[in-house]
Structure 1
Amino acid sequence: MYITHYIFMNKDYYEKIKGEKFTTNTDFIKNLNDKEMKNLKNKVINYKVVTSVVGADIFRKALNQFLYSIEKVEGIIVIMSSLLAIVVLYNLTNINIEERRREIATIKVLGFYAKETTAYVYRETFILTFLGIVIGLIVGKLLHYFILQIVVPYYVMLSEHLVVVSYIYASLITLFITIFIMIIFHFKIKKIDMVESLKSNE
């Protein structure tokens, strides 16, 4: 990660790679405290040749504010994505169970325990969840790169590298939501009346 596009080199190397005479247009001053920086700015800002006096702390504050905003946006995206996943999984599982009431009742009549019945019904959901995680991690990497190209200002560079922990957290959140929904519907499956479900017309 870096901010602004300055490169520090000596005079000889500059003339070597640029093929032109070196001309000073900026002074880089280190180790000034806030009071010294303020005094220097007040003295030199009135010179016609001086366009601006900028302290490194200003860049740091701007970058920190930018990163803070990015973190808030990331948090909102994670929360909204999790809520969307809960709604989608809940509705799909609910529809799946309602359409297979007679099948579930038959399985229970055959002697399947509640946990076995839930595992049977939820097997395809787990397969789809696994496929969703794999595809989501791949598409998420591409989306991450695309967002950085659009959101990040031209004078700032943020790393495009995603650490392994990010992938692990994303996978665990998805699995947690899937298991949470499964637990909810496990009790609903237990309450399915075998006799009434088998008597009902399709």
Structure 2
Amino acid sequence: MTGMEAERFTLRDARPEDDPAIAALVIDGFLDKFRPVFGRGMEESVRIMERWVSLEHFSGGVQSFVVEGCEAGEVVASVGVRVSPADDEVMARGLWRALSRNLGFLRAMWATTLLSYPRYSARSSEAYVERLVVAPGFRNQGMARSLLAAAEDLARQKEKRTVGLHVSGNNIPALKLYEDEGYVEVSRQRSLLTARFLKIRDWIYLRKDLSPSVRKEAPL
């Protein structure tokens, strides 16, 4: 990417007013996963995801970054990074209320079951990367790599020793990115349920040990 092209984009901390744009970006970026979850409730999915993003920021110990496009406020990529303990009870209650209010009891139960994968046990010494996503029309421009680097910088600031994340086994481009950036496979979760309905059999947990050395800047 040329310098002029790079200047079109700005990587910055997310603000509360970015939550709706982040939610829409996540739904669009992971549409193949969310369509089976929400079914005919796709219209409600953005409202549910917006509530979840807000819960992450206020109760989930998550900080987010966004990449802003040509127009001010146009969010074209984002990542969330869990760096503080989450209030799991508040998170679970808030998500259930959003699901049941928008989908009804039975569909909310179905969505909760599928969204429970992959499972992760938080570690105080580890930052955890959530929902790294780039809008389809802006991929292959280095944004994911830059957001990942920003997540790792935040982890170092918070004195974390490692960064962890999950990726589906069939997401080959993401796997290659993470491996190129020094992440190694630690474990796998296998689910017949998500294999059947989401076409995802393996959830791969990757981890990277953080070096105290200063990294090189990754271009947008």
Given the two structures, how large is their TM-score scaled by the length of structure 1? 0.25
Q: Which one has a bigger Cα radius of gyration?
A: 1
More contact order relative to length (CA 8 Å, sep ≥ 6): 1
Q: Which has the higher strand share?
A: 2
Given the two structures, how large is their TM-score scaled by the length of structure 2? 0.23
